[in-house]
């Protein structure tokens, strides 16, 4: 698998099929790994925090979730790069889990969203084995609570654990639990809300045009406004400088 570093973090030139194959193989072997789906937000959080940059770069797989990162991979010499988007990767992995009789679990969201999500997924994937689901409180867990979560996931036997927390919280959580939870942890961000039907998704044409951020800003201006205003212009400037340096050096 070919990868590139974009403004300091590794992004892998993977695909839905490749990601599903890797995750399924790791899950069948009972390996403890984590997958990050990267957006401009991840890149800029990593740019601002060496600790988070390490967490992103140590992930077992970093997919280009946002179209700017897909374009970035193409500009840096991977012309066939495609998007691997969390809300679309989730059902792809669920289908693979269903086909391979792999138990799955869900960690994140609220109890109400999680209930809606599981009901929808059980209708869509009637043979899926969901053995664990937990909506944690919106605070740090105590050491005792965290140990209980780890024990419950292990006893449930989940081999793929979908983690629906916000960035950078979900990546930090997965990194802290690699080696402790015998499952492939996949941080899918807002996928829980989208797949549960509690938040609208951008139309496909906006996603393909890299305008999903604009749709989300319009639907959640208070929560996302500061993030996009802070990160997007800086990313555009930093990546433009990187591409110019890449071209001046003759590329690869």
Confidence band for 1, pLDDT divided at 50, 70 and 90: confident
Confidence band for 226, pLDDT divided at 50, 70 and 90: confident
Residue 87 pLDDT: 94
Average pLDDT of span 42-63: 97
Looking at the chain, list the stretches that DSSP marks H as alpha helix, in order from N- to C-terminal side: 16-28, 40-48, 50-57, 67-75, 86-99, 111-124, 143-156, 169-177, 191-196, 204-208, 212-219, 221-248
Count of domains forming the chain: 1
Residue 215 pLDDT: 82
Confidence band for 149, pLDDT divided at 50, 70 and 90: very high
* 13-36: pLDDT as tens digits: 999 999 999 999 999 999 999 999
Residue 94 has pLDDT above 90, yes or no: yes
Residue 251 pLDDT: 66
Q: Find all residues with CB under 8 Å of 160, minimum gap 6, and list them.
A: 23, 27, 93, 97, 102, 103, 104, 105, 183, 184, 186
Residue 196 has pLDDT above 70, yes or no: yes
Residue 211 lies in domain: 3-248
Residue 150 pLDDT: 97
For the chain, the average pLDDT equals 94
The H or E element that residue 64 is part of is strand 61-64
* 134-144: pLDDT as tens digits: 999 988 899 99
Q: At 104, phi and psi to the nearest 5?
A: -125, 160
Cα separation, 77 vs 246, in Å, equals: 10
Average pLDDT of span 159-178: 96
Residue 252 pLDDT: 55
- pTM for the full predicted model: 0.93
Residue 15 pLDDT: 97
Q: Find all residues with CB under 8 Å of 197, minimum gap 6, and list them.
A: 116, 120
Percentage with pLDDT > 90 across the chain: 80
Q: Report the DSSP pairing between strands 130-134 and 104-108.
A: parallel
């Amino acid at each position: 698998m070919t990868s590139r570093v974009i403004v300091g973090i590794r992004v892998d030139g993977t695909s839905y099929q490749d990601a599903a194959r890797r995750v399924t193989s790791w899950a069948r072997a009972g390996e403890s790994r984590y997958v990050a789906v990267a957006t401009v937000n991840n890149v800029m959080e990593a740019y601002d925090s060496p600790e988070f940059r390490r967490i992103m770069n140590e992930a077992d797989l970093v997919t280009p979730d946002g179209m700017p990162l897909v374009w970035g991979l193409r500009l840096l010499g991977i012309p066939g790069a495609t998007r691997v988007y969390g809300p679309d990767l989730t059902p792809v992995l669920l289908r693979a889990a269903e086909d391979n009789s792999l138990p799955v679990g869900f960690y994140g969201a609220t109890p109400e969203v999680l209930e809606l999500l599981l009901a929808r997924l059980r209708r869509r994937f009637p043979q899926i084995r969901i053995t664990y689901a937990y909506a944690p409180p919106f605070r740090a867990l105590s050491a005792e609570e965290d140990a209980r979560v780890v024990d419950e996931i292990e006893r449930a036997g989940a081999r793929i654990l979908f983690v629906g927390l916000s960035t950078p919280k979900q990546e930090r959580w997965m990194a802290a639990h690699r080696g402790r939870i015998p499952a492939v942890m996949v941080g899918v961000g807002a996928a829980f809300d989208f797949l549960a039907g509690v938040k609208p998704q951008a139309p496909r044409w906006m996603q393909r045009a890299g305008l999903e951020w604009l749709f989300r800003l319009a639907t959640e201006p208070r929560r996302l406004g500061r993030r996009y205003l802070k990160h997007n212009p800086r990313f555009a400037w930093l990546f433009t400088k990187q591409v110019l340096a890449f071209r001046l050096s003759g590329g690869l």
